[in-house]
């Protein structure tokens, strides 16, 4: 195997040396400076191409070829070695640099052309330097001639690389087959190019440089060869024209044979380089364009001619601006058909505002033969303006008349990209903190908002990693889950705590997005982050106001219910037993009436302190309101009989504590209490039943003479059972159409009715109208709420459809309450859609109201259903806001339109500072989340004015109307 590789390498070295020698020997037949320097040194291109194709191990072939060719012209061995060494090292430098920067020999990208030019300039500078130095040291060239000689040597080598290297690198079966497939076109091209080359470079004119314009007419031919015959055709055409041009200069007859030899030389080099680069760039541009359009227009591209293949608009006009020829791209740009374009006046496309610019371009065209690039607009057939960039050149037709070839580029996307970049730059400096890192997490850039939030300057953070900001608030599992989400979904968002430069730990809402390149590999990470300190503070404040009694700082009813729910779940799981003690102060009203409410508040605070001191840390003491307290005891004992005994002992202890005198400022006050007790943990209890049982027991203690305690007696449930017997009739009531809907108006700040809330009533045949608070809770417990809710929704949609037919009601929206049981139904979305289809109600007028408790279970499922319904036009409002206990962070992801302030806060808003604070906080939170807000239970003008000052301008309540039947509701509208 090794011998085979060595054999192949030796053959390649021999072939390279022979090719180098042959090309060099021919080149030195037309030397420019002495016998060692020529206008074009094609062996340089052969050497670079060979090194790129076969590897650097074949460098001896370059050295041998250069050494032999210099010996053949009489150079000494020393001089030949020096020149050969320079040629070898220069080629190695050029090819080595190209490999290092990822040069592709197929020339599929413009960067490959740029890299070849740079490599040629670098490598051949070394070759020229060593070669000229060798000539000087050999006393063949005086020092004064070394500068021009170096430039000539360098330029000749550079041009040789640009002409020969692409040809050799792309000379393969595929590219040769491309030429073989179009022999007629190749022949036509040769027939056109040969006379043009003759007249441009060989024909002797009466004055020097007379054919200079013709020389540059070869460039479209090179471009045409590139477009039609590929890079090999472009390289061959460029090489052919360059060789003919060099021969013309050598014979003194060509285009570049001017009186000034240096100008002639530079013009020739410029022409050769332009020819080579034109062919390469056109080929690269064509390749890139074909790669983009290949999948969509492959069959079409095979049928297009060279003219119509151009992605740029190309048009031929006479000097009066009439369009004679044009390609499909030009038609697409202007929007006209071919026949319409031929009949167009030039100024029908070009707005008159460009007259001055057009005159300048025409003057440049007449003076230099070319115009542009310059930007202007065309007015398309549709009437809209399209930005363009134009380039053109003056040509002479067969009739001797001048014509203009123009290349027209649609730069709409470029303009849009510039605009998008400008917008992106402005967005980057928004109020949201933004950080950009590389794929390794190294910070590349931050914006001003991020710097202000973190306290670090951009200079302090760039080059660091986000670990600098870690607060220690999160464990490793948190970050592992974060990066797992980013790797699998490309994004993560959530709440995170970071540390500012001053050491302060603060919360923020962060979104991290991974950016991937075309290869699917992550290149950057972008994080946006918002300081949510104020939101968290507001959340904590609302939570405190919502779950703690402001007077005693004890848990309130809401928090008690939450803990009781947890306790019941825990007792079911662990078989633990507990007790509820319902405590009511005896004769508390008398204290308020005699000593004043301030003394009553002091008593309540001291009672709270004594009760808290009497229980364990795991137990709960809560104030329900007024003078009512509840104590929840957990895991009292495992034997039920012992539980009762122990709870009784605790109850007696509490009674004794409360019997001790209280010092209310300077007044000593003696108080007693009545306690009702119920036990839980042995049966399937509910929260409501337990509270009712303890409450009933407390009243039994009151009836027993106060200052005592009583356990719940099941016979107390007789009254409750009587109520339940009524509820059992509810199922029959739904079937017998005993339910009706009443509608309570919702008005804006100008008292205009904008909608209503549908509220169900039970029209009992014997008891008359029964309100929902008497049967809805039981309906939920008995599983009737979904059937009831469906009836309410369908009835409301029928009413909504009826209103839509009347001019004074067709603007109304209708709010309908939806229970958590309805939301948890798998087919809830389908049910709503079916009802809308049956009734013909407008979904945009339907507003579904949900409570915060609906979000505690299967949150993601509920949000998904809300999203689907919102996509159909249905709106959502969060009802009784502030009374629940769900996390406020969910509000960000909920598709809500409105928050509804609960009537319990509105009721005492004028007398209770805590309720006033809650209302203001809720309104501020809604405004920060861009949500509307409405208050229910508005009964007085003072309440409305307070709400208006707080920023709430939509109202519902008895101040405007109680819930009324549909006919009275419509009468209500007509009377306003």
605-626: pLDDT as tens digits:
999 999 998 888 888 999 988 8
The reply to whether 797 and 910 lie within a common domain is: yes
In angstroms, the Cα distances linking 625 to 18, 372, 549, 602 are 107, 85, 8, 14
Question: Of the candidates 751, 851, 757, 761, which has an alpha carbon nearest to the alpha carbon of residue 799?
Answer: 757
The reply to whether 153 and 186 lie within a common domain is: no
Higher pLDDT, 36 or 901: 901
At residue 72, the pLDDT reads: 84
Are 396 and 319 within 8 A, CB to CB? no
Kindly state the average pLDDT of the residues 221-233. Answer: 76
Reduced 3-state DSSP string for 407-432: EEEECHHHHHHHHHHHHHHHHHCCCC
The Cβ of residue 36 has, within 10 Å, a number of other Cβ atoms equal to: 23
Q: Where are the strands (E) in 500-599, listed by range?
A: 505-516, 522-531, 578-585
The reply to whether 191 and 209 lie within a common domain is: yes
110 within domain boundaries:
yes
At residue 412, the pLDDT reads: 81
The residue out of 276, 308, 340 marking a domain boundary is 308
The reply to whether 939 and 920 lie within a common domain is: yes
Are 564 and 623 within 8 A, CB to CB? no
Q: What radius of gyration, in Å, describes the C-alpha atoms of the chain?
A: 46
Instruction: Tell me the DSSP string of 168-193.
Output: HHT-SHHHHHHHHT-HHHHHHHHHHH
240-294: pLDDT as tens digits:
777 777 777 667 666 666 666 667 677 777 778 877 777 777 777 777 777 766 6
CATH of the domain at 358: 3.30.450.20
Least confident of 342-351, 529-538, 651-660: 529-538
The reply to whether 514 and 619 lie within a common domain is: no
In angstroms, the Cα distances linking 856 to 462, 502, 709, 879, 887 are 42, 38, 36, 14, 9
37-46: pLDDT as tens digits:
677 788 988 8
300 within domain boundaries:
yes
At residue 294, the pLDDT reads: 61
Distance CA 960, CA 753 (A): 10
221 within domain boundaries:
yes
737 within domain boundaries:
no
The reply to whether 444 and 299 lie within a common domain is: no
Q: Which letter does DSSP use for residue 204 in this model?
A: P
Q: Is the pTM of this model over 0.85?
A: no
Q: How confident is the model at residue 527 (pLDDT cuts 50, 70, 90)?
A: confident
- Tell me the residue range of the domain where 337 lies: 310-416
Distance CA 610, CA 658 (A): 7
65-96: pLDDT as tens digits:
989 988 888 888 998 899 889 989 998 998 89
CATH of the domain at 92: 1.10.1760.20
Side by side, which strands form the sheet with 402-410? 323-326, 313-318, 402-410, 385-396, 370-379
676-696: pLDDT as tens digits:
998 887 676 788 888 888 888
At residue 238, the pLDDT reads: 76
Are 818 and 847 within 8 A, CB to CB? no
Helix H or strand E encompassing 101: none
Asked whether residue 157 carries a pLDDT value surpassing 80, the answer given is yes
Higher pLDDT, 236 or 252: 236
752 within domain boundaries:
no
State residue 461 phi and psi, 5-degree precision. Answer: -100, -35
Least confident of 150-159, 211-220, 279-288: 211-220
The reply to whether 704 and 798 lie within a common domain is: no
The reply to whether 401 and 454 lie within a common domain is: no
The residue out of 712, 734, 753 marking a domain boundary is 712
Q: How confident is the model at residue 430 (pLDDT cuts 50, 70, 90)?
A: low
SS3 673: strand
Pairing of strands 932-936, 954-956: parallel
566-594: pLDDT as tens digits:
888 877 777 778 889 999 998 888 788 77
For 389, the token pair is 């960039």
Burial of 45 (0-12, 13-18, 19+ CB in 10 A): buried
Q: How confident is the model at residue 717 (pLDDT cuts 50, 70, 90)?
A: low
For 474, the token pair is 């999160």
At residue 812, the pLDDT reads: 92
CATH of the domain at 952: 3.20.20.450
Helices (H), 429-549: 448-454, 458-461, 476-489, 533-547
The reply to whether 938 and 822 lie within a common domain is: yes
Considering all CA atoms of the chain, what is the largest pairwise distance in Å, rounded to the nearest integer?
138
CB neighbour burial string for 379-391, b if at least 16 within 10 angstroms, e if fewer: bebeeeebbbbbe
At residue 64, the pLDDT reads: 93
Reduced 3-state DSSP string for 588-622: HHHHHHHHCHHHHHHHHHHHHHHHHHCCCCCCEEE
Q: How confident is the model at residue 303 (pLDDT cuts 50, 70, 90)?
A: very low
The set of residues, in sequence order, having a beta carbon less than 8 Å from that of 435 and lying 6+ positions away, is 443, 445, 446, 447, 450, 461, 466, 526, 527, 529
455-466: pLDDT as tens digits:
888 888 888 888
872-900: pLDDT as tens digits:
999 999 887 766 554 566 677 788 899 99
Reduced 3-state DSSP string for 270-298: HHHHHHHHHHHHHHHHHHHHHHHHHHHHH
- For 673, left (φ over 0), alpha (ψ -120 to 50), or beta? beta
CATH of the domain at 592: 3.30.70.270
% of the chain beyond a pLDDT of 70: 88
Distance CA 755, CA 847 (A): 10
Nearest-10 crossing angle of helices 42-54, 59-72: 160
Average pLDDT over the chain, rounded to whole?
83
At residue 976, the pLDDT reads: 67
The residue out of 655, 678, 712 marking a domain boundary is 712
The reply to whether 813 and 874 lie within a common domain is: yes
Report the length, in residues, of the chain.
Answer: 976
Asked whether residue 811 carries a pLDDT value surpassing 60, the answer given is yes
- Angle at the Cα of 207 (from 204 to 209), degrees rounded to 5? 80
Are 19 and 66 within 8 A, CB to CB? no
Q: Which letter does DSSP use for residue 548 in this model?
A: B
724 within domain boundaries:
no
723 within domain boundaries:
no
Kindly state the average pLDDT of the residues 529-543. Answer: 76
Q: How far is CA 351 from the centre of its chain?
A: 39
At residue 240, the pLDDT reads: 77
Q: How confident is the model at residue 205 (pLDDT cuts 50, 70, 90)?
A: low
Q: Which letter does DSSP use for residue 369 in this model?
A: S
At residue 857, the pLDDT reads: 65
At residue 607, the pLDDT reads: 92
738 within domain boundaries:
no
Q: How confident is the model at residue 656 (pLDDT cuts 50, 70, 90)?
A: very high
State residue 252 phi and psi, 5-degree precision. Answer: 80, 15
Reduced 3-state DSSP string for 796-829: HHHHHHHHCCCCCCCCCEEEEECCHHHHCCCCHH
823-857: pLDDT as tens digits:
888 999 999 999 999 999 999 999 999 887 666 66
The reply to whether 315 and 300 lie within a common domain is: no
Instruction: Tell me the DSSP string of 724-741.
Output: HHHHHTHHHHHHTT-EEE
The reply to whether 125 and 5 lie within a common domain is: yes
779-791: pLDDT as tens digits:
776 678 888 899 9
Domains of the chain: total? 6
Least confident of 525-539, 544-558, 705-719: 705-719
Least confident of 399-403, 769-773, 774-778, 904-908: 774-778
């Amino acid at each position: 195997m090794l011998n085979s590789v060595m054999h192949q390498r030796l053959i390649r070295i021999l072939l390279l040396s022979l090719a180098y020698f042959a090309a060099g020997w021919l080149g030195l037949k037309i030397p420019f400076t002495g016998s060692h320097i020529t206008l074009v040194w094609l062996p340089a291109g052969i050497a670079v191409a060979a090194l790129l194709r076969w590897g650097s191990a074949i460098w001896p072939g370059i050295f041998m070829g250069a050494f032999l060719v210099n010996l053949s012209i009489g150079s000494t061995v020393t001089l030949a070695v020096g020149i050969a060494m320079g040629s070898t090292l220069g080629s190695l430098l050029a090819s080595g640099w190209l490999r290092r920067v990822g040069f592709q020999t197929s020339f599929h990208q413009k960067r490959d052309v740029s890299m070849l030019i740079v490599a040629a300039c670098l490598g051949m500078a070394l070759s020229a330097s060593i070669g000229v130095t060798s000539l000087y040291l050999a006393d063949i060239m005086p020092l004064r001639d070394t500068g021009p000689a170096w430039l000539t040597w360098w330029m000749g080598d550079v041009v040789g690389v640009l002409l020969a290297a692409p040809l050799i690198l792309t000379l393969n079966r595929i590219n040769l087959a491309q030429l073989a497939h179009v022999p007629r076109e190749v022949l036509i091209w040769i027939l056109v190019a040969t006379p043009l080359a003759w007249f441009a470079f060989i024909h002797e004119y009466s004055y020097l440089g007379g054919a200079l314009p013709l020389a540059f007419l070869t460039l479209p031919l090179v471009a045409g060869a590139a477009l039609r015959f590929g890079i090999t055709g472009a390289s061959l055409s460029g090489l052919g024209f360059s060789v003919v041009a060099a021969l013309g200069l050598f014979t003194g007859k060509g285009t570049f044979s001017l009186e000034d030899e240096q100008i002639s030389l530079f013009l020739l080099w410029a022409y050769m380089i332009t020819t080579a680069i034109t062919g390469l760039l056109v080929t690269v541009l064509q390749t890139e364009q074909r790669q983009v359009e290949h999948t969509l227009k492959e069959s079409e591209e095979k049928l297009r001619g060279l003219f119509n293949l151009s992605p740029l608009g190309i048009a031929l006009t006479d000097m009066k601006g009439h369009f004679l020829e044009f390609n499909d791209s030009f038609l697409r740009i202007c929007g006209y058909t071919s026949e319409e374009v031929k009949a167009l006046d030039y100024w029908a496309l070009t707005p008159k505002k460009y007259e001055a610019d057009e005159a300048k371009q025409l003057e440049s065209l007449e003076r230099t033969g070319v115009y542009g690039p310059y930007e202007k607009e065309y007015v398309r057939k549709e009437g809209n303006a399209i930005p363009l960039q134009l380039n053109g050149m003056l040509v002479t037709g067969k009739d001797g008349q001048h014509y203009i070839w123009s290349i027209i580029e649609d730069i709409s996307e470029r303009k849009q990209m510039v605009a998008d970049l400008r917008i992106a730059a402005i967005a980057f400096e928004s109020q949201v903190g933004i950080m950009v890192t590389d794929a390794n997490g190294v910070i590349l850039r931050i914006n001003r908002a991020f710097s202000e939030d973190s306290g670090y300057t951009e200079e302090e953070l760039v080059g660091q990693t986000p670990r600098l900001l870690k607060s220690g608030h999160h464990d490793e599992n948190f970050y592992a889950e974060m990066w797992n989400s980013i790797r699998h979904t490309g994004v993560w968002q959530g709440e995170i705590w970071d540390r500012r430069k001053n050491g302060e730990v603060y919360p923020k809402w962060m979104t991290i997005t991974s950016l991937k390149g075309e290869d699917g590999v992550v290149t950057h990470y972008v994080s946006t982050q918002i300081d949510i300190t104020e939101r968290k503070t507001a959340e904590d404040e609302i939570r405190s106001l919502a779950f703690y009694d402001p007077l005693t700082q004890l848990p309130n009813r809401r928090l008690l219910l939450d803990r009781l729910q947890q306790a019941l779940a825990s007792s079911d799981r662990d078989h633990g037993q507990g007790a509820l003690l319902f405590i009511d102060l005896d004769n508390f009203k008398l204290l308020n009436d005699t000593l004043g409410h301030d003394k009553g508040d002091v008593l309540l605070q001291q009672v709270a302190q004594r009760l808290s001191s009497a229980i364990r840390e795991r137990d709960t003491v809560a104030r329900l309101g007024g003078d009512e307290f509840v104590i929840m005891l957990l895991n009292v004992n495992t034997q039920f009989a012992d539980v009762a005994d122990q709870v009784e002992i605790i109850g007696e202890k509490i009674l004794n504590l409360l019997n001790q005198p209280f010092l209310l400022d300077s007044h000593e006050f003696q108080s007693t209490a009545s306690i009702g007790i119920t036990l839980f943990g042995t049966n399937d209890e509910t929260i409501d039943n337990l509270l009712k049982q303890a409450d009933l027991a407390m009243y039994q203690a009151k009836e027993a003479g106060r200052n005592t305690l009583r356990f719940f007696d099941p016979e107390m449930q007789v009254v409750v059972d009587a109520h339940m017997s009524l509820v059992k009739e509810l199922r029959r009531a739904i079937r017998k159409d005993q339910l009706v809907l009443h509608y309570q108006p919702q008005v804006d700040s100008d008292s205009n009715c904008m909608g209503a809330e549908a509220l169900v009533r039970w029209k009992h045949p014997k008891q008359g109208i029964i309100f929902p608070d008497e049967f809805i809770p039981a309906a939920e417990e008995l599983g009737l709420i979904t059937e009831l809710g469906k009836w309410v929704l369908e009835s409301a949609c029928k009413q909504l459809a009826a209103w839509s037919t009347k001019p004074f009601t067709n603007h109304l929206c209708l709010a309908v309450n939806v229970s958590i049981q309805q939301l948890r139904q798998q087919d809830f979305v389908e049910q709503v859609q079916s009802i809308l289809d049956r009734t013909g109600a407008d979904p945009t007028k339907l507003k579904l109201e949900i409570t915060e408790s609906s979000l505690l279970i299967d949150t993601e499922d509920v949000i998904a259903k809300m999203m689907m319904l919102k996509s159909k036009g249905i709106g959502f409002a969060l009802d009784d806001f502030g009374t629940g206990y769900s996390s406020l962070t969910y509000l960000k992801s909920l598709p809500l339109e409105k928050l509804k302030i609960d009537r319990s806060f509105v009721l005492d808003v004028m007398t209770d500072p805590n309720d006033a604070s809650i209302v203001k906080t809720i309104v501020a939170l809604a405004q920060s989340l861009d949500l509307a807000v409405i208050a229910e239970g508005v009964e007085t003008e003072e309440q409305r004015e307070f709400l208006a000052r707080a920023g709430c301008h939509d109202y519902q309540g008895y101040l405007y109307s109680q819930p009324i039947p549909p006919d009275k509701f419509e009468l209500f509208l007509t009377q306003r």
